[in-house]
Amino acid sequence: MNIEVKKINIHKEKNLKLIENILKNWFTNPKNLNFSEPHIKYPFSFKKWIKKFYQFDRFQGFFLIKKDWIVSFIIIEYLSQEKIEIKHTSCKPNYNERGKNLIYFIKYFLKNFDKKSLNQIIIKVVKNDNILAEALLENGFIKKRGGLTDQYYKNYKYL
């Protein structure tokens, strides 16, 4: 898989403008917004998105780039030293490899970032996102049923 992972500073103004342009384009369809963040109402408001996700240092952003195109935007929230939650797996609309992209990113993240104390990854998936759910289950994640979303988690004792 020829995907480049690029860490981005989501607190810089120029990066926010790029993210805003990408997400406004991707979230013209309410289904795409719902897959990424079911708690944000349609129509998409980048200002609400910023207030909810970008004001704190515990959030970190990544682009997945394939053939010079940004195909995924992922936000990680550090819940504690031991736990992270992958908040968003926004993808180019109709991009059906989001499950593969997310698994690729998780493996990349575990290989390349400081994870000495990390012991759990949590991902919330909208109930009807079968592509993402299937990819997580195939890669050892455990499903815990919820309201709007099901939670998938994987424990790591020693990475």
pLDDT tens-digit series, residues 16-42: 888 888 888 877 777 777 667 767 778
Total Cβ atoms within 10 A of residue 131: 18
- pLDDT-derived band at 125 (thresholds 50, 70, 90) equals confident
Task: Give the per-residue pLDDT at 127.
Answer: 76
158 pLDDT exceeds 80?
no
Q: In this structure, is residue 130 part of a structural domain?
A: no
Segments forming the whole domain that contains residue 22: 4-114
Q: In this structure, is residue 50 part of a structural domain?
A: yes
| 3-class state of residue 63 by DSSP | strand
Order the strands of the 83-91 sheet from edge to edge: 4-8, 59-66, 69-78, 83-91, 120-126, 149-155, 142-144
Q: What is the pTM of this model?
A: 0.78
Helix 130-138 × helix 98-112 angle, to 10°: 40
159 pLDDT exceeds 60?
no
Q: In this structure, is residue 141 part of a structural domain?
A: no
The enclosing domain of 56 has a CATH number of: 3.40.630.30
Bridge partners, 121 (sequence order): 84, 154
Q: In this structure, is residue 47 part of a structural domain?
A: yes
- pLDDT-derived band at 43 (thresholds 50, 70, 90) equals confident
Task: Give the per-residue pLDDT at 5.
Answer: 92
Q: How many domains does the chain have?
A: 1
Phi then psi dihedrals of residue 97, to 5 deg: -100, 20
Query: In the predicted model, what is the mean pLDDT of residues 104-121?
Result: 79
Q: In this structure, is residue 133 part of a structural domain?
A: no
Task: Give the per-residue pLDDT at 6.
Answer: 93
- Average per-residue pLDDT for the chain: 80
- pLDDT-derived band at 91 (thresholds 50, 70, 90) equals low
157 pLDDT exceeds 70?
no
